[in-house]
Amino acid sequence: MGKKFMNPVPTDEAGFDKLIPILKEYINNKAENTPKQTIGPFKTDASIYKTPPESGLRVTWMGHSSLLIEIEGKWILTDPVWNERASFSSWFGPKRFFEAPLPLSELPPIDLVIISHDHYDHLDKQTIRFFSDKHVPFVCSLGVGAILEKWGTPRNYITEVDWGDSVMVDSDCCVITATPARHFSGRGLTGRNETLWSSFVIKGTKHNLFYGADSGWFEGFKEIGDRFGPFDLTMLEIGAYGTYWPDIHMGPDHASNAHLALKGKLMMPIHWGTFNLAPHAWYEPIERLLSYAKQKNIRLFAPEPGKPTEVTGELVSGWWEKYT
């Protein structure tokens, strides 16, 4: 057995002992997990990228945890999944509710791709192979580099990071730092937790961002906020929660608590509205978050999928309302 990575606090990772209860929860579930009507299509106007954002910060949400971040002249892509399914198969598994708003071939020149961990909804073989000959640097959690290399990414374009490690983007003033998360890894029935999972601080000269990827709630968010905050924007998962895995996904309540612990100014909800990954209605996470944000006085940044949007203040697009 190889080395195993561990969470920063004791964590129930919803393993085989929870398989039967989880299956029963899915079977008995009556929520609208998949939209009854077709969502989108959403189309990104790539011509917008020819003009730099006045604020120096613009984000395009491509769905789930895939974000195109323009920060002070640098282009950073997080956990890009352009494939139709978050699965080992092209025939079955969670299917996107809407196509990726922008073809990979129309992306602007990417300075860095961040891979937080190896789960199928964050690490997609087809998407990674597109970049294999594009000379794009990757920053990924420990152990994930071997997967990237296997799929064609040159080893010298891969930087693996442990929690606390920092990487400078293009020898400039944008610094990426890996920080702890409470999750797990593995792409099959075996090999669980043999690669690391991480969140990331993205710090420019004027803007400071937090990309949470996947994580359950833990007190480490306060430690990250105290050390690296305050953050202009926190990008935090609000979807894919369930009764039997509260330790590895936050849901809207704990995600909003994490935002406050991180000392965030604006909170961007991610990891929702794209795949059916949990026994809740596809729109429930954002509706619950709106309620929590009002209670906790949190300013939200929730743009429409595929729409390049400058991060200048609170924005609740409400794009989902016409599909519910």
Walk me through the domains of the chain, giving residue ranges and CATH numbers. 57-319 (3.60.15.10)
Report how far residue 52's alpha carbon sits from residue 105's, in angstroms, rounded to the nearest whole number: 20
Question: What is the residue-averaged pLDDT of the chain?
Answer: 95
- Residue 71, H or E segment: strand 67-71
pLDDT at 170: 75
pLDDT at 1: 43
pLDDT at 92: 86
Q: Give residue-wise pLDDT tens across range 44-92.
A: 999 999 999 999 999 999 999 999 999 999 999 999 999 999 998 888 8
pLDDT exceeds 90 at position 43? yes
pTM beyond 0.75: the answer is yes
pLDDT at 52: 97
- The first and second tokens of residue 109, run together, are 């020149």
Mean pLDDT within 241-257: 95
In DSSP notation, 140-161 reads EETTTHHHHHHTT--GGGEEEE
pLDDT exceeds 90 at position 21? no
Task: From 235, 251, 289, select the one nearest 116 (Cα to Cα).
Answer: 235
Angle at 98 between CA 93 and CA 102, to 5 degrees: 115
Supply φ then ψ for residue 113, to 5 degrees: -115, 130
Report how far residue 148's alpha carbon sits from residue 163's, in angstroms, rounded to the nearest whole number: 19
Mean pLDDT within 240-267: 96
Angle at 67 between CA 65 and CA 72, to 5 degrees: 145
Mean pLDDT within 127-150: 97
